Amino acid sequence: MPSHNDSASSRRLRRLYSNQDFDLAKTISLSAEESRHALKSLRLQPGDTCLIANGKGWEAEAVLRSTEHDLAQFQILACRHEQRGFSLPVTVLPALIKKGKMDTLVEKAQEFGAANFQPLLCERSDYDIAADRFEAVASRWDKIAKEAAKQSGSSQALQINAPIKFDKMLAGLNTENLVLLFHTQAPAQDWVLQARELSKKEKSFSGITVLIGPEGGFSQKEIQMALDCGHPCLKIVSMGKTVLKADT
């Protein structure tokens, strides 16, 4: 794909989403939902330009050419590949909490540039998602993530995965990832020293996995399971004396 260095002015263009690949001079049609957003909410007219992200790290500057059958058709003028905000892919595994708060976590995970999002089923989780309902929930979260990507200017889509039990999560952890399990009783001073050393070893990790507990935190049983799981780069850390809410 050709790349193009965007200008400051292009950053102010309105943003849309399409999961298609981009090529210069190619014409793409947006989905019916995204077309409604472009034509009804943003009131774009033929000749107007905007930015379109495809969720794969590519962003295109495009001009609206047609609105036939209420579908917005754009011609690609320039495209560029955007490096994710983090040098390593970040996977966020938060404990399942109440419905509305999970929506907020999805939004914030997308905004700060996480690559993957997977809810955890923990001993103290106060919310669960039935298997036959997850498709609908995932669809809502995907929509929330796309809107957050437009707002934050990200061209990378958050990958949303089905909830997983804590013990199965531990068994399936990537041994090449740095795993950070946040726990209020972790020795904060030790973590400060560890962080300095870990930053020197960044290139030896393939990614970062962040585990966030429910209201009340992970149970002592879960902490012990994490310590005993044998992962070579699992660290139990804290935010010092500060105790944050599960959805912060």
Domains, in order of start, for the chain = 10-81 (2.40.240.20), 90-237 (3.40.1280.10)
More confident residue, 248 or 91: 91
Distance, in Å, from the CA atom of 71 to the CA atom of 195, rounded to the nearest integer, reads 50
Distance, in Å, from the CA atom of 73 to the CA atom of 48, rounded to the nearest integer, reads 11
Mean pLDDT calculated for residue range 106-112? 92
More confident residue, 3 or 181: 181
- Whether 192 shows a pLDDT value over 80: the answer reads no
Tell me the pLDDT tens digit for each residue of 133-172: 889 999 999 999 988 888 887 878 899 999 999 999 999 9
What pLDDT sits at residue 221? 96
What pLDDT sits at residue 149? 86
Measuring CA to CA, how many Å separate 246 from each of 95, 99, 115, 190? Answer: 8, 13, 20, 23
More confident residue, 178 or 153: 178
More confident residue, 83 or 55: 55
Measuring CA to CA, how many Å separate 4 from each of 23, 74, 79? Answer: 12, 17, 5
* Closest to 34 measured CA to CA, from 92, 61, 90, 74: 74
The two beta strands, 27-29 and 73-81, are: antiparallel
> What is the Cα 28 distance to its own chain's centre?
25
Q: What is the pTM of this model?
A: 0.72
Tell me the pLDDT tens digit for each residue of 9-63: 444 678 898 888 888 778 999 999 899 989 999 999 999 999 998 877 788 899 9
More confident residue, 2 or 96: 96
User: To the nearest whole number, what is the mean pLDDT of the chain?
Assistant: 83
Mean pLDDT calculated for residue range 77-104? 83
29 by Cβ neighbours in 10 Å (0-12 / 13-18 / 19+) ranks as: middle
